[in-house]
Structure 1
Amino acid sequence: MTHEPDHDTARRAPAILRAARQARALFPSLADYRRLRRTWKTDLVAGITVGVVALPLALGFGVSSGVSAEAGLITAVVAGLIAAVFGGSNVQVSGPTGAMVVVLLPIVATHGVTAIAAVSVLAGLIVVLAGALRLGRAVSFIPWPVIEGFTVGIAAIIFLQQVPLVTTPTQVEVGEHSSNAVVAAVQSLTAADWSYLPWSLGAAAIVAACTTLLPRLHRGIPGSLIGIIVVTLLSLAIANPLGVIGTLPNTLPAPSLPAVDAETFSALLLPALTVAALAAIESLLSARVAATLDDTGPYDADRELFGQGLASIGSGLFGGMPATGAIARTAVNVRSGGRTRLSSVVHALVLLAIVFIAAGPVGTIPLAALAGVLMVTATRMVQPARVVSLMRSTRADAITFVVTAVVTVSFDLVIAVLVGVVLLGVVAIRNLSSATHVEREPIHGLPQAGDERIAILRLDGPLIFASSERVFDTTMKIDGVTVVILRMSQLELIDASGAHVLTEIVQALERRGVTVLIKGVQEGHERLFRSVGVLASLRHHEHLFADMETAIAHARSHVGRGSASPG
């Protein structure tokens, strides 16, 4: 009696050890830096390069989100550093992204700027929980047409969000225009100051030209940053009406918990879930893409979620925004030679140095210059070759791509992903069900008298809820027979609905006086057949056969006796 607790402990020990190993896998280790001795020089160069590239994007996304350029910079520093250390990818670069901006703008319009820090913390907690629950591989269930439609929709929104920045010299207050990017762009154009447009469009065009053309001279040239510097110097030298970022703090704020009461918490929970879903999807997609760009080592999807969740929590505590893995910056990191987490850490430290050293000059950057950077970024997100290949693929995939893109622009990113997945799911189920066939087979060998009273029905393909009713109707059309042999050996897949319909088929035929024999139940289907009642519905337990010859012989014995009594 005294040894029972020891036995229980011994039985629990493997599970406890396994859980401890899984938990430990979510945290950093020295193995994360095992390549550092060989790659530290290229990691440093890549980190500095990405930091320079990330500066205008962090500022631009902060402004476009309706929060502030300061919040974008804080997010790039804090979240970028935390995700670099705790994330599941060796080369992922995290920070504010265009997709997140699209989600945050309506939240700011509804709940105010002060809600963003709280949303960041809440969303981070949700993503951390998703990582702890090992949900990282869920992104693999998102089909390619949905991802591409989602990306094109985001690109369109990012581009349209810059229209207010080039039509007015001041940052548009949240709530002044519609939260829908298309409507807001039209409203901005309607109320545009036409005397201001030549200045703003000229500034955006200079930045766009530098961003596009200079890297063609050498891929290491930070075209966007040079474009911003050129426009800023020109704006300082020439009298102009261009609006600028404004004063930025030269230090990070002290971390603090966002003030959230019960009412605010309940109001922000649904937006936080939306942000968390987007953060998880975009970060995992970015990490997966990074793993294919070069030999950067494997990535851990669950740890990536865990790290990105911590990054958003940290960003929110410092007054920043929710963060995700950034595909464009991650690609720059890899192509610049980044191979370990050091490059992502250096990127965050470069941005931190800019906060301490160059906050004043950064505040003089014209808003139209940032608009130019983001317009080019949005344009580059769309890859025409992929769009063309999708539109030339199956009709269902093309429709899904278009619908996802339209819903993304018109409504909501997460809704767009759900609509796209559901749409393709419906199509997939329809295609799957159309592969289900019920065919009457001839009896091979020498014919015998009464064989015309025996029907062999072969069930092919998957028998699932979407095809079960059609299978029932087809089978019930069989007439003029005494025995029906249901051949199951070609049945690829069956669910509970399909098994239930088989039960109904057997019962309906038996009520008509037709003896039902079942041949070739696969081992993987037998348990379901027993639990749903397919086998129990047979008139006799001997009406289940493993080979066709025996089943046919038994059927002939029924026909020969002229009765449907048990064999």
Structure 2
Amino acid sequence: MQGIVTGRNSLGFMWATLKSLLPSRADYSALPRTWKSDLLAGLTVGIVALPLALAFGVSSGVGAEAGLITAVVAGFIAAVFGGSNVQVSGPTGAMVVVLAPIVATHGVASVVIVGLMAGVIVLLLGLFRLGRSVSFIPWPVIEGFTLGIAVIIFVQQIPASVGSPEFVESTNAVLSGISAIVAANVDLALWSLGAVLIVALIMVVTPKFIPVVPGSIIGIIVITLVAELTGSPLVRIGELPSSLGLPSLPDFAGVNLGELVVPAFAVAALAAIESLLSARVAASMANTGVFNPDRELLGQGLASVGSALFGGMPATGAIARTAVNVRSGGKTRVASIVHAAVLLGVVYLATGPVSRIPLAALAGVLMVTAVRMVPSKAAWKILRSTKHDATIFIATAVITVALDLIEAVVVGIVVTVLFSIRALIMRGKVHQVELPGPAASGDERIALFRIEGALYFGVADKIHEEVTTHPDVTVVIIQLSGVQFLDATGAQILAEIVMQLERDGKTAIIKGIPEQHRELITRAGVLGELRHPNHLFDNLELAVAHARSHITREDAATAEGLPRPFFS
């Protein structure tokens, strides 16, 4: 009977957990009061997202069509199933940085399969409630990661800015190939460079005069009209679908899934990290309801799966678009849903004009976006904080640009942990102090050691070194009240110290075990190594008095010609 009850309780807990990760009516409880601002915010974000969706699709190598599909499908699914009321999802610059090498190595068709695999991984992370893990990523790592992404995005747009529609994977290849691209068609290069500069100028200037309309949209419209009216040689986006097809599984024929496992985990890691960071930033910008990180992972996983089934690319929460949503008055998920509906309207109503947008205009949009991504204020604060944080920030940014995005995050976290351990070790101190109160005869044979900060392996050598420099010491008092950090290793070392002192014929007395460490010290057998339970004290004066009583009895035994007594 007890087993049945336990089973029912387990099922009940599992159902409660799953229920907390699914949509509910509470998600839209504020809608009667916020629907107007949600509609306006959704329309604004949709306009902002259009050029970015097209540009990120092109820049990743999968095409503008995939970027647009991703913004529609993933944007809708993540809005409904995600853990944030205001998160806007879709293709992002960080995802472009990861996907572009995958396209170059495994082909465009692999992106759909990688997206499907990554989506399942992220979904499982949400079901296993690992959403809080983003809190383990240090601030310098996040900002270094962002700076590296910004640099890569900017550099990747250089070929398009001088007239090449092809993606160039390597940064070195981008820089070394510019002269060849320009020489091949000087006229196209000049037109493209001019388009980029005009778009950038419009994006910088228009917010001061026309803040309601995104500068990226104005810039793209201007360049497209100029290109059409002048018959310029600018390379266009090309044909786009005029409808959203039916979902279907990708073709796995001839695909080596083993080669895509690592890329899929890299995409999943990025999708999880960026989405959780974006949602956390949104939660700090305005009071938009509770943010559920586990549900966010579930929603983002479903979004990438859905996007893959429609032929799109993996999606993440988009920090810039989410910020626009919040600042535009978005309060509920309806705003993000409207954003997806606006982009869906583009698919059915405006793919003709959109297909005529020059690639150079999109390159200009991404270049300005990359510059705006640079965390200049945060970088300045980090560089002025500590050498450790500055090193972590710079190392993460450099590794992101030179090697790999996920490797940069991993290395940044590892370096942070190493610096933290080093700082912890440096805080661990042991020093001999004078006995309190008036001096008494025999005090020179009593050593009082105070351990402060962290109790770790290095402290053991220090204590032994201090004690062995005083061969006449016969009683050692170890004061632990200043120990702030103690783990199993530290407790075991403390037991070994006590055991070694007793083995050397010295009496060990422990004073002041902090209450939070008492259970661990007991389990580690430290108290069992003491000669007698009376050698554990909470008061320093009593511990010293007991140590002096040892000296008095030792002197008395010596005077009578007796061996050193064994007493408590």
Q: TM-score, normalised by structure 1?
A: 0.94
* Residue matched to 1:185: 174
Displacement of 1:477: 4.4
State the secondary structure of the residue aligned to 1:319: coil
User: Given the superposition, is the C-alpha separation of residues 547 and 55 from structure 1 closer, same or farther in structure 2, using an over 3 Å criterion?
Assistant: same
Superposed displacement of residue 524, structure 1: 2.8
**Match of 2:189, as an amino acid?**
L
Q: Report matched runs for 1:269-284 at 5 Å.
A: 269-284=261-276
The answer for the alignment partner of 2:166 in structure 1 is 172
Deviation of 1:559 (Å): 1.5
What residue in structure 2 maps to residue 453 of structure 1? Answer: 445
Task: Note the C-alpha offset of 1:494.
Answer: 0.7
Name the counterpart of 1:398.
390
Change (3 A) 1:22 1:472: farther
1:378 maps to 370
Provide the rounded CA distance (Å) in 2 between the counterparts of 1:84 and 1:472: 62
Shift in CA distance, 381/467, structure 1 to aligned 2, threshold 3 Å: farther
- 1:100/1:517 Cα in 2 relative to 1: closer, same or farther (>3 Å)? same
Distance in 1 between residues matched to 2:409 and 2:97, nearest whole Å: 14
Q: Does 1:145 align with 2:140?
A: yes
- Unmatched 5+ residue regions in structure 2? 555-563
After superposition, the Cα gap between the structure-2 partners of 1:349 and 1:417, relative to the gap in structure 1 and judged at 3 Å, is same
- Offset from partner CA, 1:260-284 (integer Å, 9 cap, x none): 3697222211111111111011001
In the alignment, which residue of structure 2 is the partner of 1:334?
Answer: 326
- Higher mean C-alpha deviation, range 510-519 or range 450-459: 510-519
| Count of aligned pairs | 556
- Of the structure 1 ranges 78-87 and 202-211, higher mean CA displacement relative to structure 2 is found in 202-211
Equivalent residue runs for 1:356-371 within 5 Å: 356-371=348-363
Q: Relative to structure 2, which stretch is displaced further, 544-553 or 245-254?
A: 544-553
Structure 1 CA distance, aligned partners of 2:469 and 2:333?
66
The reply to whether residue 60 of structure 1 matches residue 34 of structure 2 is no
Instruction: State the shift of 1:313 in Å.
Output: 0.5
Indicate yes or no: 2:480 matched with 1:491. no
Equivalent residue of 2:451, what SS? Answer: strand
- Residue 149 (structure 2) aligned to one of 139, 154, 158: 154
Q: Give the 3-state SS of the residue equivalent to 1:405 in structure 2.
A: helix
CA distance in 1, matches of 2:513, 2:358: 73
What is the DSSP-based 3-state SS (H/G/I as helix, E as strand, rest coil) of the residue aligned with 1:455? strand
Q: Distance in 1 between matches of 2:313 and 2:330?
A: 25
Classify 1:105/1:541 alpha carbon distance in 2 versus 1 (closer, same or farther; 3 Å): same
2:190 counterpart residue number: 198
Does 2:526 correspond to 1:537? Answer: no
SS in 2 for 1:492: strand
Give a deviation string over 1:446-467, Cα, whole Å, max 9, x none: 3221111111111111113576
Match of 1:428 in 2: 420
Which residue of 2 is the match for residue 237 of structure 1?
229
Where does structure 1 differ by over 6 angstroms across 4 or more consecutive aligned residues? none
Among candidates 109, 112, 115, match of residue 107 of structure 2: 112
Contact 1:81–1:345 at 8 Å: present in 2 too?
yes
Match of 1:481 in 2: 473
Work out whether residues 160 and 185 of structure 1, in 8 Å CA contact, stay in contact via their aligned partners in 2.
yes
CA contact (8 A) 1:482 1:564 kept: no
Equivalent pair of 1:476/1:505 in contact (CA under 8 Å): no
Pairing 1:278-293 to 2, within 5 Å after superposition: 278-293=270-285
The answer to which of 257-266 and 72-81 deviates more is 257-266
CA offsets 1:134-160 (integer angstroms, 9 cap, x no match): 111111111111111111110001100
Which residue identity lines up with residue 345 of structure 1 in the other structure?
I
Which residue of 105, 120, 142 maps to 1:125?
120
Q: Partner residue of 2:557?
A: none
Whether the aligned pair in 1 keeps the contact of 2:38 and 2:335 (CA below 8 Å) is yes
SS of structure 2 residue aligned to 1:124:
helix
* Counterpart in the other structure of 1:97: 92
Cα distance in structure 1, aligned partners of 2:462 and 2:119: 47
Equivalent residue number for residue 389 of structure 1: 381
Native 8 Å contact 2:467 2:473 kept in 1: no
Partners of 2:154 and 2:356 in 1: how far apart?
A: 23
- The question of 1:86 aligning with 2:81 is answered yes
C-alpha distance in 2 between matches for 1:49 and 1:509: 73
Q: 2:131 and 2:237 mapped to 1: Cα distance?
A: 38
Give, in whole Å, the separation in 2 of the partners of 1:478 and 1:14: 62
Q: Secondary structure at the match of 1:255?
A: coil
Per the alignment, residue 408 of structure 2 pairs with 416
Q: 1:429–1:466: 8 Å Cα contact kept in structure 2?
A: no
**Matching residue of 1:209:** 201
2-structure distance, mates of 1:417, 1:517: 46
Cα distance change, pair 108–486 in 1 and its aligned pair in 2 (3 A): same
Alignment of 1:298-377 (within 5 A): 298-377=290-369
| Distance in 2 (alpha carbons) for counterparts of 1:466 and 1:456 | 18
Moved more, 542-551 or 419-428: 542-551
Report the 3-state secondary structure (helix = DSSP H, G, I; strand = E; otherwise coil) of the residue aligned with 1:385: helix
Please report how far the alpha carbon of residue 514 of structure 1 lies from its aligned counterpart in structure 2 after TM superposition.
1.2
Measured after TM superposition, the shift of residue 398 of structure 1 is 1.0
> Matched residues in 2 for 1:37 and 1:545: separation?
65
Once structures 1 and 2 are overlaid, which stretch shifts more, 245-254 or 8-17?
8-17
CA deviations 1:46-67 (Å, max 9, x no partner) are: 1111111111100100011111
Counterpart of 1:549?
Answer: 541
Partner residue, 1:440:
432
Name which of structure 1's ranges 286-295 and 275-284 shifts more when overlaid on structure 2.
Answer: 286-295
> What SS is found at the alignment partner of 1:490?
strand
CA contact (8 A) 2:86 2:332 kept: yes
Match of 1:516, SS state, is: strand
Measured in 2, the distance between the counterparts of 1:30 and 1:404 equals: 42
Distance 1:274 1:482, change over 3 A: same
State the alpha-carbon separation in 1 of the partners of residues 121 and 465 from structure 2: 47
Name the stretch that deviates more: 412-421 or 539-548.
539-548
CA distance in 2, matches of 1:473, 1:145: 39
**Distance in structure 2 (CA, Å) of the matches to 1:401 and 1:564:** 61
Selected match of 1:558 from 543, 550, 563: 550
Cα shift at 1:491: 1.2
Distance 1:72 1:420 in 2: 30
- For 2:238 and 2:254, how far apart are their aligned partners in 1? 35
Instruction: State the percentage of identical aligned residues.
Output: 54
Q: Does structure 2 conserve the Cα–Cα contact (< 8 Å) formed by 1:437 and 1:471?
A: no
1:185-238 Cα offsets, whole Å, 9 max, x none, are 213313222513211011111111221211211321121011111101111111
**Secondary structure at 2:527 match in 1:** coil
Amino acid at match of 1:57: L
Between the aligned partners of 1:304 and 1:55, the Cα distance in structure 2 is 23
Q: Which moved more, 1:420-429 or 1:146-155?
A: 420-429
Distance 1:564 1:320 in 2: 83
Letter in 1 for 2:182: D
Contact in 2 for aligned 1:246/1:363 (Cα 8 Å): yes
Indicate the SS of the match to 1:489.
Answer: strand
Distance 1:252 1:380 in 2: 32
**Matched-pair contact (CA < 8 Å) for 2:143–2:375:** no
Q: Give 3-state SS (helix, strand or coil) of 1:193's partner.
A: helix
Q: What RMSD in Å do the two structures reach over aligned CA positions? A: 1.8
Label 1:402 to 1:564 Cα distance change in 2 as closer, same or farther (>3 A).
farther
Whether 1:17 aligns to 2:12 is yes
The residue type equivalent to 2:566 in the other structure is S
